[in-house]
Amino acid sequence: MSLVKTEGIVLKSFKYGDSSLIFSLYTRDFGKVKVLAKGIKRAKSRTAPPGTFSLVEVVFYKRERSELHLLSSAETLKSFSGLSKSLNRFSWAAAVSELLDQLIKGEESNPRIFNLSLKTLSRMELTDESNPEKLFWSFALKLSTHLGYKPKLDACINCGKEIKEEEVFFSPERGGVICKKCAKEDEYYLKLSRESYLIARKLLSLDINKADKFPVDKESLEEISELVKSFISYHTGAKELKTLEFLRKISG
């Protein structure tokens, strides 16, 4: 058992006994880890429980033969308190945390995912109230790329030719768009308008700090969300996020 220090994003926490908490963290140096904070809920605890989405510096005892490590100390570096002032911002930030927690399985460092997640939460806190959803779907597209299954949107995944049709087919199974000539009647495709297709390409390529500024209409955002959900579900087996179910309910 070794004592280590790193930065981490708090994905979620849950009770352990009467006075302790277990935190799921996505860390810069160790990937996703779970740490047990013994007695952290006691009034005399020297460590205040960090909130969800917080960026923290943690010191913990890393157990080599266990998935649960022992927290020594935690210092909040950034609380992202602005996210909690808006239900919309908070909910989409929760979707970021939930997606990370669902898709990241092991303790393996990936600085690109860590930095992307941190930048996304920072941007969600600062952007206009109508933009967090755009940021989330851009984040999800980029996350899939960093996890090794980037969707191919620049050309037909079968023949490699540029997609010029007004109606674009996307194959979750093949992981990309396909032209009408290569599409087969017995295969399943999502249909996208050309506008939605071009926006999806832009959200994938744009830096996350610029994605919220790119104009996207509601209909295109809905089509892109279906593309991302079906693609991630097929390649990871992930279920629909509870946060997205909640957002759908409150939106009517």
What was the pLDDT predicted at 74?
A: 92
Nearest to 121 by CA among 109, 106, 104, 139: 139
Residue 94 has a pLDDT of 94
Cα 179 from Cα 21, distance rounded (Å)? 51
Q: Are the CB atoms for 60 and 35 separated by under 8 Å?
A: yes
Residues 172 and 198 in one domain: yes
Question: Domain holding 10: CATH number?
Answer: 2.40.50.140
d(CA 145, CA 204): 9
Last residue of a domain, one of 44, 62, 78: 78
Of 25, 45, 78, the one marking the end of a domain is 78
End position of a domain, from candidates 78, 110, 133: 78
Distance CA 167, CA 173 (A): 19
Exposure string of 14-49, with b = 16+ CB inside 10 Å and e = fewer, is: eebeeebbbbbbbbbebbbbbbbbbebeeeeeebee
DSSP code per residue over the chain? -EEEEEEEEEEEEEEETTTEEEEEEEETTTEEEEEEETTTTSTT-SSPPPPTT-EEEEEEEE-TT-SEEEEEEEEEEE--GGGGG-HHHHHHHHHHHHHHHHH--SS---HHHHHHHHHHHHHHHHS-TT-HHHHHHHHHHHHHHHTT---B-SS-TTT-PPP--SEEEEETTTTEEE-TTT--TTS--EEEEHHHHHHHHHHHHS-HHHHTTS---HHHHHHHHHHHHHHHHHHH-PPPPHHHHHHHHHT-
- The CATH number of residue 161's host domain is 1.20.1440.120
Structural domain harbouring 91: 85-250
**From first to last of its 252 residues, what are the pLDDT tens digits of the chain?**
799 999 999 999 989 888 899 999 999 999 999 999 998 888 667 677 788 899 999 999 999 888 899 999 999 999 999 999 999 999 999 999 999 998 998 778 999 999 999 999 999 999 999 999 999 999 999 999 999 989 999 999 999 999 999 999 999 999 999 999 999 888 899 999 999 999 999 999 999 999 999 999 999 999 999 999 998 888 888 777 888 888 877 765
What pLDDT is stored for residue 243 in this prediction? 87
Structural tokens at position 36: 């047990």
Q: Are 171 and 215 members of one domain?
A: yes
**With 0-12 CB in 10 A as exposed, 13-18 as middle and 19+ as buried, what is 141?**
buried
Please answer whether residues 40 and 14 qualify as being in contact, where contact means their C-beta atoms are separated by less than 8 angstroms: no
Contact call for residues 170 and 192 (beta carbons, < 8 A): yes
User: Do 231 and 142 fall into the same domain?
Assistant: yes
Residue 42 sits in the same domain as residue 116:
no
| Domain identity same for 108 and 16 | no
Q: What is the pLDDT of residue 224?
A: 94
